[in-house]
Amino acid sequence: MTISRPLWLRLRLRAAVRERLGVPRVTRYSLAWDMMAGLCAGAFTGMVFPFLTKIARGDLHASQNAIALMVAAPFIGNLFSPVWARQMEGKDKLPFCLYSWSIARSLLLLMPLAVTGNLFVLLITLLQIVGTVASPAYTSLMRDIYPDSARGRLMGYVRVMAQSAMFLATLITGRLMDSGISYRYLFPLAGVFGIGAALAFRHVRALPVPTVADKRHGNPITQPVPADGRNTFLYQTISILKHNHAYRYFALSVFIYGFANLMMQPLYGLYQVDILHISSTQIANLTNIGSLCAIAGAFFWGRFMDKRGAPMTVMCSIVLIAIIPIIYLFTRRVEALFVASVLSGLGFAGIELSYLASILLYAERERTAQYQSLHSLLLGIRGVIAPLLAVPLVKMFGYPVVFWGAFGVMLVGAYLQGLAVRADAKT
């Protein structure tokens, strides 16, 4: 059997691209479906999340407290992560992702009914809470489907696909909204894309189970805590902070930096709408600049992380994000926020990859979901408190004081992450 020259060239080109990108053969099937899921998830995300504050505050006149609640919503769900992780113990993780994502995103199909600010905020809040159920399962699956040596760059490629789709979706949606097409018609379409992402992700498959025990990363715990009357799943989860010193530095750094960053999230949106009177097209432009930088960042951070490690990637990303409140502090024009979008795109691309990779670095294979549940629990605590604290602080002290305070706290988080980098180097 002979192969035609055009087909031979295509096969050679495909093989060369795979070799250049460093895609192991055993991961290609899962990577292809993960990329398809990333495309759909990016479209879903780009059509919805950049415009939430503009719609809720600018169009439906929701209160500042309602905006803060909407920002805090996913973190309310994260408070229950140890419960979800306990339910997943010893079970197939994939169904938890599929059902959580599908149910959450199907709520967007009800958006034609959301004609008031309170109903709109309620649907978005429920969407984000239900979606967090998948978090421990997703982290565990990333360990199962990608090898340690290539995980950073493979996840980076998926993020490139997601960010590319998000770029196009945000660009189109912003202009459609400014032309008069309501979110009540656009958001249900976004829900369809979101459900499509879950259906695509169901095709990923785990790598063969290792035949030798994986190396522990500075964690002396190799077996569950012995029964002593306190031997509950939650106690074992919290005790990770006591026994795993490197993870403790990481968790403390992320909590302190993350608290300040999450406090800023509702304030950035409120500042744009109330002070700068931003339009949907301008929101789309800012988001798209961030998406382009996130695409570049996903390529860079994936390879950077494979060479320098996840803890160093976390620290560099925190430093970039810490500069954003200073930009808001000195700007009175929307155009100046493009610099903030560049830093946001680069910084959060690094954060998204390195947080998950750090958890996989510190966790024993059989306790990955448990480590992720602890990370999500701490995220939930700061995520519920910080956004709800932001609005009262602004009312008392004004935007400048709060922006300066957030900048200082983020720098403290960067310093503590430096300690985590040192602890990682010693192990």
Provide the whole-model pTM. Answer: 0.72
Residues 6+ apart with CB under 8 A from 45: 162, 166, 169
Kindly state the average pLDDT of the residues 108-126.
94
Kindly state the average pLDDT of the residues 258-262.
93
Kindly state the average pLDDT of the residues 210-222.
45
Kindly state the average pLDDT of the residues 323-339.
90
Residues 6+ apart with CB under 8 A from 424: 218, 246, 309, 311, 361
Cα 54 to Cα 395: distance, rounded to the nearest angstrom:
20
Q: Judge residue 20's burial from the number of C-beta atoms within 10 Å of its C-beta, 0-12 exposed, 13-18 middle, 19 or more buried.
A: exposed
Domains of the chain: 25-205+234-426 (1.20.1250.20)
In this prediction, residue 123 carries a pLDDT of 95
Kindly state the average pLDDT of the residues 58-73.
86
In this prediction, residue 212 carries a pLDDT of 44
Does 225 score more than 80 pLDDT?
no
Does 261 score more than 70 pLDDT?
yes
Q: Which of 100, 81, 137, 68 shows the shortest CA–CA distance to 381? A: 81
Kindly state the average pLDDT of the residues 365-379.
81
The answer to whether 82 touches 374, Cβ cutoff 8 Å, is: yes
pLDDT in tens, 269-300: 889 888 888 888 888 888 889 888 988 888 88
pLDDT in tens, 139-164: 888 888 888 777 778 888 898 899 89
pLDDT band of 218, cuts 50, 70, 90? very low
More confident residue, 394 or 150: 394
In this prediction, residue 14 carries a pLDDT of 52
pLDDT band of 370, cuts 50, 70, 90? confident
In this prediction, residue 184 carries a pLDDT of 95
pLDDT band of 41, cuts 50, 70, 90? very high
The answer to whether 336 touches 370, Cβ cutoff 8 Å, is: no
Token digits for 205? 């498959």
Kindly state the average pLDDT of the residues 316-336.
91
